[in-house]
Amino acid sequence: MPKDLLTRAVDDDLVAWVDDSPPPGMKKEINMKQVPGKGMGGLSAPTRRRRRDRVKKFRFIDLFAGIGGFHIGMAMNGGECVFTSEWDRWAAVTYRAWTGVEDVRTEDIRDLDFGSEIPDHDVLCAGFPCQPFSIAGVSKKNSLGRAHGFDDERQGNLFFAICEIAAVKRPAVLFLENVKNLKSHDGGNTFREISRLIDELGYEMRSAIVDARAWVPQHRERIFLVCFDRMRFTDDEIGMFRFPMPPTDHPVLGQILEEDPDPKYTLTDGLWTYLREYAEKHRAKGNGFGYGLVGPEDVARTMSARYYKDGSEILIRSNSGGNPRRLTISEATRLMGYTPEYARRLWYGDAGFPQVVSDTQAYRQLGNSVAPPVVEAIGALITKVLLQMKDRTGE
């Protein structure tokens, strides 16, 4: 395509920027569309970034960052991400592409020098690994004779790394997320130990189980821990914080489904027969295992990291009465709350968040993710308290 057709009415410095800086996984021609873009209020991408730089309210770090759920939610509240750690290299590929952050640390967080390699920050965000505490994870580990919870050496004790970072860097707030089962794991002993450690660090903890269903068309209950440094906040300031009231206008699947999905997502006859027979076998035993068949007016079950295997927990009915289908990658992205609106506000204009990994990796990453709208809603109330403290102390 001739250059003048691509760059008509665009300044030379912006043309150079587009040539040099498309996000990973984005073609230059798509990146060019962002420059005059109407989807971001008519601002070019460099202008948007400069404007965001002028309104940064606080600094946060993103640990066990996944594909950017915490990043997006906190950025919407004026946060600047100053450090990111995610040891899954494919998740890091998506994170870089979706957030624009290039420096994602992929080594084991426990191998870092916390004092010198992690910058000072106001909020420590961490969706620490949930498999050691999840119902499915515990069941699988038990069946294999493996340790779970804090006894899981690879993942379970990563919570202690969070405590060590908090002790060294003393962020004002810890903002943590895990599976609902964290609270009941090991008869409640795990959660009591977490509460004790946070208290000994000098933080006042608030916790709640929040269902993302109020923000996305999916039942997705997760526990959130918000912890305030008692040395920085007054009792009144800590008392200001409340978990958000869920919106009452609940979304349904029809709002994220595509009209003409690729036929490759339709289940084969063999897989559909297998899933029905498997469900019937467990129903006969009085078990609840089986597929979840839903339509446009429904709300989905929780999407899990195993969705790539057969899609059984969320199958979309066929309008013609044929075999159901999996969610497409774009649908699954929106189901998790990575909406076109976030894409417009952050980086991609009307193009949405691009798929930059395989279908298998994309499903796995989305199933492991935190929902950005929930983070944004809780983060807005954290930010309110944090900024009041900063105004009082002059930080």
Catalytic position from the list 81, 125, 130, 227: 130
User: CB under 8 Å to 64, separation ≥6 — which residues?
Assistant: 85, 86, 109, 126, 127, 128, 129, 158
Tokens of residue 184, six digits: 């009941």
> Looking up tokens 């206008």, which residue turns up?
249
> What's the gap between Cα 229 and its chain centre?
25
Coarse DSSP helix, strand, coil percentages of the chain, rounded to the nearest 5 percent: 45, 15, 40
Does residue 130 carry a catalytic annotation?
yes
**In terms of C-beta density within 10 A (0-12 exposed, 13-18 middle, 19 or more buried), how is residue 120 classed?**
exposed
What is the C-alpha to C-alpha distance for residues 238 and 111, in angstroms, rounded to an integer? 33
How many Å from the N-terminal Cα to the C-terminal Cα in the chain?
Answer: 51
What is the C-alpha to C-alpha distance for residues 393 and 142, in angstroms, rounded to an integer? 50
Tokens of residue 317, six digits: 């009915």
Tokens of residue 237, six digits: 């300031």
Tell me the CB-side half-sphere exposure of residue 294, using CA atoms within 13 A: 26
**Which runs of E-coded beta strand occur in the chain?**
58-63, 79-85, 104-105, 123-126, 173-179, 203-211, 221-229, 293-294, 315-316
What is the C-alpha to C-alpha distance for residues 64 and 310, in angstroms, rounded to an integer? 26
218 phi/psi in degrees, rounded to 5: -155, 130
Annotated active-site positions, please?
130
